[in-house]
Amino acid sequence: MSVLVGRQAPDFTATAVVKGEFKENFKLSDYRGKYVLLFFYPLDFTFVCPTELHAFQEQLDTFRKMDCEVIGCSIDSHFSHHAWLSTPKAKGGIEGVTYPLVSDINKTIARDYDVLISTSGIALRGAFLIDKTGIVRHQTVNDLPLGRNVDEFVRLLEALQFTESHGEVCPANWKKGAEGMKTTQKGLHAYFAHG
């Protein structure tokens, strides 16, 4: 498993479904200057996947208020994405999801992010938080049956933005509104003195 944290996020050009339309030449690098949460999921028309895609949609306004775009990706075709987007939620579909869904039909994107399961040809549940300069700042990879907690990605983005604006680090279990910590012995002592 490759660790991409601290490295440039692998760029890609692919076809995506964006607001119900096919967009050829969809590029990750077009989002430079914004934060990006890029997540991979195994397959359209499956079981855990629609719960995750709807959960990301429910938090989409929160991400966008923090200048972060959400992008989903699987090895399905853009035609499959479009069909799933046209299927009502009550029937297992993702109707109402509005962020881009990228088609990785050639499996090159999943391979570049090292989430491709070579034996089955599908992606693990990888998620990558990318900063405004295109650097991966966080990554997690879940096995297929383990759904993600989208609220944790919101917290991680808040923590990243806090460290960027305050020059302090975020200690364990940090939440928005909590104090950060200076990276000195004095800062550590001050942090524990308040706890």
Positions marked catalytic = 49
CA distances from 69 to 35, 83, 99 (A): 6, 23, 8
For residues 49 and 131, the answer to whether their CB atoms sit within 8 Å is no
Order of all β-strands in the sheet with 101-103? 21-27, 13-18, 101-103, 68-74, 35-40, 125-130, 136-142
Cα three-residue angle 85-98-37, rounded to 5 degrees: 115
**Residue 8 DSSP one-character state:** B
Token match 């499959």: residue?
Answer: 80
